[in-house]
Amino acid sequence: MTTKRFTAFIAILLLLSGSIAIAQETESFFSISGLVKDARSRKSIGGVNISARGTNVGTVTNEDGEFVLKLVEPVKVREVEISCVGYINVKFSISKDMEQNQTFFMTPQSFLLSEIEIFSWKNPRDLVELAIEKVEQNYSTRPNLLTGFYRETIQKRRNYIHISEAVIQVYKTPYRQNADFDRSQVLKGRTLVSPKKNDTLDVKFLGGPNMPVYIDIVKNPDVILSKEILRYYSYKMGETTTINDRLQFVVYFEPQAIMDFPLYRGVLYIDQETFAFTRAEFSMDMSDRFKVTAAILKAKPAGLRFTPEDVVYVVTYKQLNNKTSLNYIRNEVRFKCDWRRRLFATNYIIVNETVITDNEEENISRIAARDAFSMRKSLSSEVAAYYDEDFWGSYNIIEPTESLENAVGRLKRLQR
C-alpha cells in the first residue's frame, strides 16, 4: 500500500444538508470497573491497557482514566494487569465479591541509561531497519480474527454534533503478507447526530471502522516503515522508557525530503529484547497545508474554505502468546471551515479510536467481501440510532468520558 493510499484513507466529507451485519445473543458477564491514576501527581491516566492475564481479552481507559472490563461467565480469569508506557505494571486479583470502581495508582518507572544503551545504536535508522527485518519473527504468522470497539466523535467548537460507535471484527492475514485481503465488518453500531439547523454542515469520516486494516503501520510499512520510505526521514535516539515493564528504545523521526504528498514526524518505541515495534506516535507534517488538504478532504461544497490544523495518530501493540499484536489506534483531525466573505472560521475536531478487545487464531473464517465495511461509506450512515444502555451486552468498550456522556444527553434532548 502506498503512502498516497494511506493518506486517502482518512478522507473526510463535508456535505450540506444502517445496516448491521451480525447480531449477538446476550451473554452473562462479570464486570470489573475502576479508575487509574498517577501515584505521584494523582492525575487520571488515559489510554492505559487493561488485560485479563492469560487471555486475549482487554480494553483501555478513557481520557478520564476510567475503565470497565467485561469477562464472560463462567469467569476463569484470576488476575488483571494494568500497563502503560513509562509506568510499572499493576496486577490485582479478582473475585465475585470484589469492590467495584476502585482506584489503582501507577508508579512512574525511573532508571539510568547504561553506556551500552547510549552508544550501541549510533545510527538509529539501523535500529529501525533491524526492527523491520524482525517483523515476521515478532508478529503473527497465522491469520487472526480481531474483535474491537470503534468510536468516532465530531465536535463543532466545544459542542459534540456527532457520535458513532460500533463493535467490529477485523480479519488479518499473516504479517508477512500485505493487507490486500484484510477486512473489517460492523457487528453492532449506533449513532447520534445533532438536529440543530446551524449544524447543517455535516462532517463525515469515510471508512472509519477500517482503521485497524489501514493504520496498522507494521502490517502496512509503506506508511512510515518501508525501507524505501526511511530515506525520506532523519532519525535520532531518545531516552529509554518502559512499556509493560519491558525496556524500550525510543526513536524520533522527522521529514528530510520534500514529496508531492505529506510526510510525518513522530516517535517509535522498539522493544529492547525482541526489537518489535510496540508503539508509534506521529502526525502529518503541516508545512504545506495544500498537500494535507488534498490528502484528507474527499469533497466539500462550493464556496467553503477548509483549513487543516493537525492530523495526529497513536498506534500501540501488545505481547500475546509470545507474539506482538495490534492493540489500540487513535486518530485526531483538527480543522477550520468558513464560507467566503465571512469574518470568522468554525473549529472542528474529529476523534476516532479503536481498541482490540479480543483476538482469535483458531477456527476462524475470512470476512466475505459482501460483508466488509466499505471505504466509501461512513459509519453514521450505516448504523441505527442510540437506544438502551445495554446495547453492547458482554462486548468490551471504551468507557465514555464525562464530557461525552453529557453530550449524549444533550443530543438526545435535542432530538425530542
Q: What is the 3-state secondary structure (H, E, C) of 283-338?
A: EECCCCHHHHHHHHEEECCCCEEEEEEEEEEEEEEEEECCEEEEEEEEEEEEEEEE
Q: Which distant-in-sequence residues (6+ apart) come within 8 Å of 142 by Cβ?
A: 174, 361
Q: Domain range for residue 56?
A: 29-106
What predicted TM-score, i.e. pTM, was given to this entire model? 0.91
State the pLDDT at residue 16.
Answer: 56
State the pLDDT at residue 301.
Answer: 82
Residue numbers in the chain where pLDDT is lower than 70 = 1-10, 15-27, 74-75, 111-121, 197-202, 341-343, 416
Distance CA 348, CA 229 (A): 31
CATH classification at residue 50: 2.60.40.1120
Cell 458482554 -> residue: 394
For residues 190 and 383, the answer to whether their CB atoms sit within 8 Å is yes
Among 52, 76, 106, residue at a domain's last position: 106
- Beta bridge partners, 50, equal 59, 82
State the pLDDT at residue 116.
Answer: 47
124-167 pLDDT per residue, tens: 999 999 999 999 999 999 999 999 999 999 999 888 988 999 99
Order of strands, sheet of 66-72, starting from the edge strand that comes earlier in the sequence: 66-72, 29-38, 102-106
For 166, 192, 377, the CA distances from 415, given in Å and listed in that order, are 21, 9, 24
Q: Count Cβ atoms below 10 Å from residue 228 Cβ, excluding itself.
A: 9
For residues 342 and 317, membership in a common domain is answered with yes
Identify the burial level of 54 via C-beta atoms within 10 angstroms of its C-beta, where 0-12 means exposed, 13-18 middle and 19 or more buried. exposed
State the pLDDT at residue 72.
Answer: 82
CA atoms 398, 211, 164, 14: torsion sign? positive
For residues 204 and 295, membership in a common domain is answered with yes
Among 106, 123, 158, residue at a domain's last position: 106
For residues 187 and 91, membership in a common domain is answered with no
Q: Indicate the number of domains in the chain.
A: 2
State the pLDDT at residue 347.
Answer: 92
Among 106, 129, 159, residue at a domain's last position: 106
